[in-house]
Amino acid sequence: MNSQSPKSSKRTPYLSTETETGRFINRELSWLEFNKRVLDQALDDQLPILERAKFLAITSSNLDEFMMVRVGSLKLQREQNSPLVDPSGRTVDEQLDAVSIACNALVHQQTLLYLSTLETSLSKAGIRRSIPKTDGAISNHALTEKLDEIEAVLSPQVVPLRGNFPLLQGLSLHLCVRLLRNKTENQVQTENEDKVDEYAIIPIGKSLDRIVSIPTESGHNYVLIEDLIQANISRFFPGREILECVPFRITRNADVELREDSAADLMVGMEEVLESRRRSRVIRLEYQCGTSSTILNFLSERMGLTENDLYSIDGPLDLTYLFGLHGLQGFDSLRDPPWPAQKPPNLDPLQSMFANISKRDHLLVHPYESFDSVVRLIEEASTDQEVLAIKQVLYRTSKRSPIVTALKKAARNGKYVSVVVELKARFDEARNIEWAREMERAGVQVIYGIRGLKTHAKLCIIVRREPQGIIRYVHFGTGNYNEVTANLYSDVSLLTCNSELGSEATSFFNAISGASQLKHLQQLAAAPDSLRPRLLSLIEHETTRSKQGQKGHIIAKLNALVDSEIIEALYSASQAGVKVQLNVRGVCCLKPGVPGMSDNISVVSIVDRFLEHARIFYFAHGATPQIYISSADWMPRNLDRRVELLIPIHDSDCVDKLTTTLKCFFKDETNSWIMRSDGSYKRVGHDKNSYRAQLRLYETAKQAVLAARHSRYGQYEPHLPKTDQ
């Protein structure tokens, strides 16, 4: 009954950092190295305990998505007998084997940290998890009531030994119960006990809270719902002999894409994709350590799983429940002190956003500077009598999006509102379908993305009639129009009424909304047409200057660097003497510091309080540096299979601010990691009193507000009597 998993003996407690011998790092292993850096935040005893718990929840959530998308894609390739070899030289099977070893090691580290450190520290801080005794008497009235509620909601489902297996929800907890089969008088006792077993599954689902609070005079006591059910499982099967009850969780392949060439209606097609994802192949089974081989074999055989798909967990499954603990009321001392977003001092709250932007361009660095200014711009546009049209691209939004509300209001107020809603935005398809239908009902012209491409650009154009003519007010961004994640992600916004940028933004939007040919862009660059060539040209320009004996310098901040052509161009730049500084948050397939290939390239990664999400690019370009923001990472999917934008920053104040911001990330000595040429990372010191980029940016935003306030106090502006003249 409690036999050890056959896979556990092969596991290693450490994430492999196998030395690469080619020109590129494997993408999947690089991503796992990133998640290891996130896990290191959870290991950091200088952080408050609830922040450490939050980072552990993030690593668990990250790994779920990695399994669904990346591992799911590799498994599909294997099923199709794909002969493809990745740029690092690995076959599909070799990648899957390496990923399995690394993922198991990562899971082991997560569980070890939870059991050996976090749970004990949380308990000492007053947040205690209780594990009920099996079928023990429950003296707590609140738990008795909760059990009654659970029993009323959940329903066990008997699973036949042969025939259809029930459709189980991915990433949802279940209990597998092994029962002694009830025998009739005609049945003969068999020597093989398995033949008299019967199985049932209880889907726990997500309608019930996983954290069940236990009333206490101090602190916060709780049990996990699966532990509570497991300890009282006999209530669900009165009169039956229960041999075993264990929790498990499955992960399904989410790499299910729409065949747009065969989809007559995109919205219907996306709904079919969501249904396909719900029924897609199971690619991972997580189960409680100590589960018998009987149940394990039953589940794995019925779901068609191999040994590499099985993950034994010696602790609670699905550590994302720790997000719930992080939000507990009354434990502020166990979290980071708040960093409330600052109102940009150059945006006068007493004037309209149009008056503010007409004076000068504004560059905002989120979340240090509030995203509310962007929301305010669109809300003002929805009621402004002089606004004629709003054109916007929506990739991801929040559940109760004020921007969507403003767009619907604008349409009802007679504005011409045209919105590209990307229905193919992974894991947000259902929400975007709902928003699209709501906006259509309000009179918004909705375009469901572009056939064969994902529209990932961040753009809003507001067309306003003014005495001097038609003016276009434009927002360009590196992040989504989501006011919730804007408080968690580090991004950049540009607010401008620059006529050239406005004209090209309009041409770009009209081309994607009208399926027309995009005019040649001088200022902007758009994927999949001109963004890759523009980047290669900018890199080549630095390379040429360096070969001519001039100083070449490239600084780039992005989330992922995967594209082989871009990497080869950077290698060439390095060999020509160009200094290349890269700040890559996550996956990086480039090898820095390799003699003769990338001597002049350095790569750092920052994992801190906010998720680094901005894409900022700097090219020295002689005495006139060129600096850009973008919606695109340097990956084939962004450069070739998505609609993206690269935006130049012209205003001198904005250039200075963005350059200073960019260079901050290369000074960090607190949460910065240096990438080695073999794909592993080394932390750059770790002293809470050292330079910390995110803290410096927040303090800079606060100081700017104080300076503006003192400046206003130093000016005397009398109220003058109003005259009729």
- E strand or H helix at 447: strand 445-447
pLDDT at 16: 39
What gap in Å lies between CA 285 and CA 291, rounded to an integer?
12
Report the 3 state secondary structure along 274-293: HHHHHHCCEEEEEEECCCCH
pLDDT at 132: 84
The mean of the pLDDT values for the chain is 88
pLDDT at 318: 93
Beta bridge partners, 630, equal 615, 646
611-612 and 615-619 strand pairing: unpaired
pTM: 0.88
Beta bridge partners, 527, equal 644
Beta bridge partners, 471, equal 464
Q: How far is CA 25 from CA 14, 98, 590, in A?
A: 19, 13, 6
pLDDT at 82: 78
Judging by beta carbons within 10 Å of its beta carbon (0-12, 13-18, 19+), is residue 719 exposed, middle or buried? exposed
What gap in Å lies between CA 132 and CA 486, rounded to an integer?
40
CA 514 to chain centre: 31
Whose structure tokens read 């690995």?
90
- Number of Cα atoms under 13 Å in the Cβ half of residue 523: 16
> What are the two backbone dihedrals, phi and then psi, of residue 70, each rounded to the nearest 5 degrees?
-75, -50
pLDDT at 314: 93
pLDDT at 22: 85
Q: Has residue 467 got a pLDDT over 90?
A: yes
Q: Has residue 424 got a pLDDT over 80?
A: no
Report the 3 state secondary structure along 314-376: CCCCCHHHHHHHHCCCCCHHHCCCCCCCECCCCCCCCCCHHHHHHHCCEEEEECCECCHHHHH
312 in helix, strand or coil?
A: strand
Tokens, residue 616 = 């900022």
Torsion angle of the four alpha carbons 525, 530, 532, 533, in this order, in degrees rounded to the nearest 10: -110
pLDDT digits (tens, 9 = 90+) for 270-308: 455 555 656 678 899 999 999 999 999 999 998 889 888
Q: Are 674 and 603 in contact (CB under 8 A)?
A: yes
In angstroms, what is the C-alpha Rg of the chain? 28
What gap in Å lies between CA 198 and CA 160, rounded to an integer?
8
pLDDT digits (tens, 9 = 90+) for 668-705: 999 999 999 999 999 997 777 899 999 999 999 999 99
**Which domains does the chain show, CATH number per domain?**
8-183+190-334 (3.30.1840.10), 353-520 (3.30.870.10), 526-708 (3.30.870.10)
pLDDT digits (tens, 9 = 90+) for 58-90: 999 999 999 988 898 888 888 888 788 889 899
Task: Tell which residue, 347, 375, 376, 342, has the closest CA to residue 362.
Answer: 347
Confidence band of 722 (pLDDT split at 50, 70, 90): low
Tokens, residue 675 = 């990438």
What value does the mean pLDDT take over residues 184-197? Answer: 51
Beta bridge partners, 419, equal 392, 446
Beta bridge partners, 619, equal 554, 626
What value does the mean pLDDT take over residues 499-527? Answer: 89
pLDDT digits (tens, 9 = 90+) for 197-221: 899 999 998 889 999 998 888 899 9
What gap in Å lies between CA 178 and CA 193, rounded to an integer?
11
List the end-to-end C-alpha distance of the chain, in Å, as a whole number: 95
Beta bridge partners, 287, equal 248, 312
Question: Which residue type sits at 240?
Answer: R
Q: Are 600 and 579 in contact (CB under 8 A)?
A: yes
pLDDT at 247: 96
What gap in Å lies between CA 127 and CA 122, rounded to an integer?
5
What gap in Å lies between CA 170 and CA 271, rounded to an integer?
17
pLDDT at 207: 86
Q: Are 286 and 317 in contact (CB under 8 A)?
A: yes
pLDDT at 19: 40
pLDDT at 105: 93
Q: Output DSSP code: residue 133.
A: P
pLDDT at 3: 33
What gap in Å lies between CA 270 and CA 256, rounded to an integer?
10
Confidence band of 12 (pLDDT split at 50, 70, 90): very low
Confidence band of 165 (pLDDT split at 50, 70, 90): confident
Task: Tell which residue, 366, 650, 337, 682, has the closest CA to residue 493.
Answer: 366
Whose structure tokens read 């660095």?
365
pLDDT at 139: 61
Q: Has residue 373 got a pLDDT over 60?
A: yes
Tokens, residue 292 = 């018998």
Torsion angle of the four alpha carbons 125, 131, 133, 135, in this order, in degrees rounded to the nearest 10: 130
Tokens, residue 369 = 């500077």
pLDDT at 662: 96
What gap in Å lies between CA 319 and CA 39, rounded to an integer?
12
- Number of Cα atoms under 13 Å in the Cβ half of residue 475: 27
pLDDT digits (tens, 9 = 90+) for 380-395: 999 999 999 999 999 8
Q: How far is CA 231 from CA 136, 138, 628, in A?
A: 7, 10, 58
What gap in Å lies between CA 519 and CA 221, rounded to an integer?
63
What gap in Å lies between CA 317 and CA 320, rounded to an integer?
9
pLDDT digits (tens, 9 = 90+) for 87-101: 989 999 999 999 999
Q: How many other CB atoms are there within 10 angstroms of residue 169's CB atom?
A: 15
Judging by beta carbons within 10 Å of its beta carbon (0-12, 13-18, 19+), is residue 262 exposed, middle or buried? exposed
Q: Has residue 715 got a pLDDT over 80?
A: no
Q: Where are the strands (E) in 368-458, listed by range? A: 387-394, 416-421, 445-447, 454-455
pLDDT at 185: 43
233 in helix, strand or coil?
A: helix
**Cis peptide bond upstream of 367, omega within 30:** yes
Whose structure tokens read 């004209």?
503
For every residue of 632-654, DSSP letters joined together read --BSHHHHHSEEEEEEE---HHH
What value does the mean pLDDT take over residues 53-62? Answer: 96
Tokens, residue 600 = 């002049």
CA 280 to chain centre: 22
Q: Has residue 192 got a pLDDT over 50?
A: no
What value does the mean pLDDT take over residues 227-239? Answer: 91
454-455 and 642-648 strand pairing: parallel
pLDDT digits (tens, 9 = 90+) for 433-450: 788 888 999 999 988 878
**Cis peptide bond upstream of 83, omega within 30:** no
pLDDT at 460: 98
What gap in Å lies between CA 224 and CA 209, rounded to an integer?
9
What gap in Å lies between CA 366 and CA 634, rounded to an integer?
22
pLDDT digits (tens, 9 = 90+) for 596-633: 999 999 999 999 999 999 999 999 998 889 999 999 99
Q: Has residue 5 got a pLDDT over 60?
A: no
pLDDT at 194: 45
Confidence band of 555 (pLDDT split at 50, 70, 90): very high
What gap in Å lies between CA 364 and CA 355, rounded to an integer?
17
What gap in Å lies between CA 177 and CA 156, rounded to an integer?
9
Q: Has residue 331 got a pLDDT over 90?
A: yes
Question: With pLDDT > 70 as the criterion, what percentage of the chain qualifies?
Answer: 88
- Number of Cα atoms under 13 Å in the Cβ half of residue 502: 18
Active site residues: 456
What gap in Å lies between CA 342 and CA 702, rounded to an integer?
6
pLDDT at 630: 97
